[in-house]
Chains A and B, each alone.
Chain A
Amino acid sequence: SQQGEEDPQALSIQEGENATMNCSYKTSINNLQWYRQNSGRGLVHLILIRSNEREKHSGRLRVTLDTSKKSSSLLITASRAADTASYFCATNTGNTPLVFGKGTRLSVIA
């Protein structure tokens, strides 16, 4: 079953703009992770945020977590053409493996 649900399903922006993707989930989590998948490739881990954290940064990435709303957002600032990819959130609810959402397809137009 899929725990996380990304929104929007697809997003198209101009290079230099910011991209925001959201993830909603249903049950309490231990942590939430964001992964990127370039076309035809495997997934690459971007960032992990724990349930007791509200915000984390990594380079041009900013992730927020609101456990009261059961949602997370991924912000990519100053986007580049190389950021074109699918982005997945994955949740861990305890003594279970990660569960991935369906992803957001981001297109950054040069």
Chain B
Amino acid sequence: EAGVAQSPRYKIIEKRQSVAFWCNPISGHATLYWYQQILGQGPKLLIQFQNNGVVDDSQLPKDRFSAERLKGVDSTLKIQPAKLEDSAVYLCASSLGPGTRGETQYFGPGTRLLVL
């Protein structure tokens, strides 16, 4: 079974530029998550989708971050414009169930973003 795929693996941009990350979850997984992990910290949930609907985006900085999951499969996360403090690893994860009972999540390798 293929795991969660993410691209790109690394991205370096200058502040005020925009960037987009892509995630392909495990086939058949209804729930998809985007996390931000700053160096030395645990992952922080940015947004959770169930199929193509948003379940939780309370910690997503909506003035600059946006995400979509068209057709309930792949997802993209965009930052526009980027700030220095956005430098982090962006992790995508998926789970089979709705994610409301703490189901096991399967993580992709992450995208390491550096904003200069």
Contacts and interface: CB of A to CB of B under 8 A. Distances in A.
Contacts of B41: 102-103
Interface SS of chain B: loop
Interface residues of B, number: 25
B107 A42 contact: yes
A89 B15 CA distance: 33
Contacts of B110: 40-42
Nearest to B43: A100
Nearest to B45: A97
Question: 6 closest A-B pairs (Cβ-Cβ)?
Answer: A92-B102, A42-B107, A100-B42, A43-B107, A45-B104, A95-B100
Interface of A: 2, 4, 30-31, 33, 35, 40-45, 48, 88, 90-92, 94-103
Interface of B: 4, 33, 40-45, 48, 55-56, 91, 93, 99-102, 104-110, 112
7 contacts: A31-B101, A33-B104, A40-B110, A43-B107, A88-B42, A94-B100, A96-B56
